[in-house]
Amino acid sequence: MRLYMGLVHFPVYNKNGEKIASAITTLDIHDLARLARTYDVRRVFIITPLQDQQELARRVLRHWIEGYGGRYNWHRKEALECVSVVESIEQAVARIQEIEGELPITIATDAGYQEERSISYEEARESIWRNQVAVLIFGTAWGLHEEVIRQSDRVLAPVLGKKGYNHLSVRTAAAIILDRLAGSEEN
Amino acid sequence: MRLYMGLVHFPVYNKNGEKIASAITTLDIHDLARLARTYDVRRVFIITPLQDQQELARRVLRHWIEGYGGRYNWHRKEALECVSVVESIEQAVARIQEIEGELPITIATDAGYQEERSISYEEARESIWRNQVAVLIFGTAWGLHEEVIRQSDRVLAPVLGKKGYNHLSVRTAAAIILDRLAGSEEN
């Protein structure tokens, strides 16, 4: 598996459908890193163009990797070592290309349904297990801006609730999506 | 489906393997409520014997159900309405019995493997879809105390990572477990 994840803080929507840069939730960094470790994701990119937010994310990483956090909780260090902070989705894609020697397919995740270009869990899983380099793109706040959806190669079908409720946190949605796409065959 | 969830703050382990009562993480209440709404879980019990922690949890609920939060974000209100604060697992079980007219089976979740009494995802899923009243018990901090595991009817097999890393947050583990047990057939 040559799978990557990106957590996007810009461009995303706020509650009023405006294009914004959201603030970092440090807990998301931990949760995504731990998920990455569990499901053998190669690297998690925390994506924000805001300098102060990049610095906040890097401070969290330093604390847990080099500082007291790493001595206090080794499992956390192990997880957070796979996290990088970058400015844009383009930069994340460029890094992946450097590492893998080829461009990843970008798979956006969205709580709305993007029929034309949507990819089923089965298709996405198959392509990931065929060793296709891929990056799953998750949006914070009220979700990925339409331009990210448009520029992505594919859009993953949403996690649908029984009663049409689809307002999961990005952490829990990422957990479910990773388990569906990268979970072991035995489970 | 007659499925319930309980998030246990006592008795759980701390990092040193001691029996403690953990503090409420308000974000866990939100995440579990939103998961419950998505997967048609009837009620989420936040379980703690500490009065101040019960009050904290109730304050969060009031804010989002009756206060400003409910007007600000209706989806959050809708989710949090299914949350109750109780003192103990026994009290949660008694409430479920009141609602359903029968005792639920208690299924503990544990990152360690409890071979003798473990139940596979397939078995658990089947029993839930057969409409068996069941409550999934999740532990905060470093996991459920052994006495909870012992007293539960069944223990769910852990979510296993590819490389043996099993240190997910309780939020993300609950998301994965619910999707496996209660996710729609189509997905």
- In angstroms, the CA A112 to CA B128 distance is 28
- In angstroms, the CA B128 to CA A56 distance is 43
**Of residues A39, A163, A176, nearest to B40 (C-beta):** A163
Cis-peptide, bond into residue B11, ω within 30° of zero:
yes
- In angstroms, the CA A147 to CA A12 distance is 9
Contacts of A182 in chain B (CB under 8 A): 162
**Sequence-separated (6 or more) residues with CB below 8 Å from residue A70:** A64, A76, A77
**Pair B40, A161: CB distance under 8 Å:** yes
Q: Is 0.85 exceeded by the ipTM?
A: yes
Q: What is the pLDDT of residue A187?
A: 44
Q: What is the pLDDT of residue B185?
A: 60
**Of residues B163, B168, B179, nearest to A176 (C-beta):** B179
User: Shortest CA distance to B99 belongs to which of B45, B177, B28, B29?
Assistant: B45
Q: What is the pLDDT of residue B186?
A: 52
Domain boundaries, chain A: 3-182
A66-105, pLDDT tens digit by residue? 888 888 888 888 899 999 999 999 999 999 999 999 999 9
Chain A residues bordering chain B (beta-carbon distance below 8 Å): 15, 27, 30-31, 34-35, 37-40, 73, 75-76, 78-79, 121, 157, 159-163, 165-169, 171-176, 179-180, 182-184, 186-187
> How would you label A20-45 residue by residue, b for 16+ Cβ within 10 Å and e otherwise?
bbbebbebbbbbbbbbbbbbbbbbbb
**Sequence-separated (6 or more) residues with CB below 8 Å from residue A145:** A11, A12, A13, A19, A139
> What does pLDDT average to in each consecutive run of 10 residues of chain A (187 residues)?
97 96 96 96 98 96 89 87 97 98 96 78 95 97 95 90 82 96 74
Q: What is the pLDDT of residue B75?
A: 87
Contacts of A174 in chain B (CB under 8 A): 172
Q: What is the pTM of this model?
A: 0.94
* Bridge pairing between strands A12-13 and B118-119: unpaired
Q: Which residue has the tokens 């997905």?
A: B187
DSSP per residue over A62-85, as a string? HHHHTSHHHHH-HHHHHHHTTEEE
Separation in Å, CA of B45 to nearest CA in chain A: 18
| Tens digit of pLDDT at every position of chain B (187 positions) | 999 999 999 999 999 999 999 999 999 999 999 999 999 999 999 999 999 999 999 999 999 998 888 888 888 888 999 999 999 999 999 999 999 999 999 999 987 766 777 899 999 999 999 999 999 999 999 999 999 999 999 999 888 777 778 889 999 999 999 999 999 765 4
Confirm or reject CATH 3.40.1280.10 for domain B3-182, answering yes or no. yes
C-beta atoms of A187 and B34 within 8 A: no
